[in-house]
Amino acid sequence: MAHSLFADTSQQVSTVLIAGNKTATFNDKAEYSYEVKNPTDNPQVGIVSYQVFTETGKKLNAEVIKVNIPKKSSGKYDFEIAEPNAGFYKVNFMVNVSDYDDTTRRAFGIRPEELRSNHAMPADFVQFWKETRAELDNVKPQFKVTLLPDSTKDHRNVYLFEMKSLDGLTVRGYLTEPITKNKNKKFAVLLGLPGYQVSLPPMFGTDPDLAIITLNVRGQGNSRDVIHTMRDAYIFYHIEDKDKYVMRGAIMDCIRAVDFIYSRPELKHDCIMASGGSMGGFLSIATSALDKRIALCSAQNPIMSDISNLQGEVNWPLNDISRYVKSRPGLTMDKVMQNLSYYDTKNFASLLTCPTLLGIGMLDPIVPPNNAYIDYNNMTTKKHIIIFRDLGHEVGVPYKAYEGRWMRDTFGLF
């Protein structure tokens, strides 16, 4: 129903949907309360209904209730939605009454702790990354650090750093450190890793005990000297060869950043937290899995999660990858998925040994909760998950607040 821009919405029919618990995850049946408020002078006659779908859009449970809501009153309807199989489900709640039509889209989980991938880790996964790390170690880092002008912003020194990484590529980032008169002061480190095709600037913050590094991996931000793809093309750069795929170098760039931290005497080498969202979440998990020098891992909405199980579920990145495959004679999607199994977040997750924090949005169109939860279930280390039942490819303020407290408590920053 269309409304005037200046209409009094308090006098219009509205709905309130409340899940049975904070995370909208349940044991055997989802519970919701759906309220339809009718402040108008007209009775509202029609139906209230829901429809459940799998993450791939297959229709499942549905229920329709006929309603007659008197004027200036409300109707409240409690739903129990039974689903026998563990997993996450999409659900639409709909109201169709005399003066109002609306759909509220949500998702819920049933016993997500039972979710497991159908796709095994490659038998030589650990060896592949051991050899990759050995290649990196053979490249001299040649660290170059430049104090930037006007670098006392927010009481911090700001440094540009450059270093040689895998294949001899130069990558860059920024280090910001609190200005202190204590020459023996050592700072804990937040290693901030970038999202997809995001250029990370220096990060400031007010914590006097914390140095912050923002890294631009190859092909991103100020590290685009050699790899400078179009935005869509980055995800499939050299994807036909697992030894040359862009993410192989990007992960090594992150490990080289840990080498950089270790080269700095003013940084606490045993107090490093890797953190990032989306591609940065993927990089945080991959780096923390391969480099035991990282003490804490924080990952939000990590891409590449159970990637073989994304086919048919989401558009990105597989649509872009599929278009590329079709443009390359002789290349098949099966071959590409085989290569990508060496870059699957769930496989890195199983190698984590440091405490790990994972944040997911239940309405995420890029990293469906089924896939992200498989990462979590693969972790055998100390772990914690924060679920945002009403968010997509993002996390809320409570995540960053928890992350900050967790880091300070763990590193003893008081």
Confidence of residue 152 (pLDDT cuts 50, 70, 90): low
Residue 267 has pLDDT above 50, yes or no: yes
DSSP output for 96-157: EETTEEEEEEEEEEESGGG---SSPPPTTHHHHHHHHHHHHHTS----EEEEPSSTTGGGEE
pLDDT at 69: 96
128-132 average pLDDT score:
98
271-275 average pLDDT score:
98
pLDDT tens, 208-223? 999 999 999 999 999 9
Residue 360 has pLDDT above 80, yes or no: yes
CA–CA distance, 316 with 233 (Å, rounded to integer): 12
Of the candidates 109, 38, 189, the residue with the CA atom closest to the CA atom of residue 371: 109
Confidence of residue 414 (pLDDT cuts 50, 70, 90): confident
Q: What is the mean pLDDT of the chain?
A: 94
pLDDT tens, 379-389? 999 999 999 99
All structural domains of the chain, each given as residue ranges with its CATH number in brackets, are 9-114 (2.60.40.10), 125-411 (3.40.50.1820)
Confidence of residue 8 (pLDDT cuts 50, 70, 90): low
**Three-class SS state of 307:** helix
74-93 average pLDDT score:
96
More confident residue, 414 or 128: 128
Confidence of residue 1 (pLDDT cuts 50, 70, 90): very low
pLDDT at 3: 47
pLDDT at 4: 46
280-291 average pLDDT score:
98
pLDDT at 234: 96
186-200 average pLDDT score:
97
Q: What is the bridge-based pairing of β-strands 44-53 and 59-69?
A: antiparallel
pLDDT tens, 287-303? 999 999 999 999 999 99
Do the beta carbons of residue 205 and residue 407 sit within 8 Å?
Answer: no
176-197 average pLDDT score:
95
High-pLDDT (> 70) share of the chain, %: 96
Instruction: Estimate the crossing angle of helix 279-290 against helix 246-262, to 10 degrees.
Output: 60
CA–CA distance, 97 with 387 (Å, rounded to integer): 33
High-pLDDT (> 90) share of the chain, %: 91
pLDDT at 151: 56
CA–CA distance, 282 with 276 (Å, rounded to integer): 8
DSSP output for 225-287: SS----GGGGGGTTTT-TTT-HHHHHHHHHHHHHHHHHT-TTEEEEEEEEEEETHHHHHHHHH
Residue 332 has pLDDT above 80, yes or no: yes
Confidence of residue 9 (pLDDT cuts 50, 70, 90): low
Confidence of residue 19 (pLDDT cuts 50, 70, 90): very high
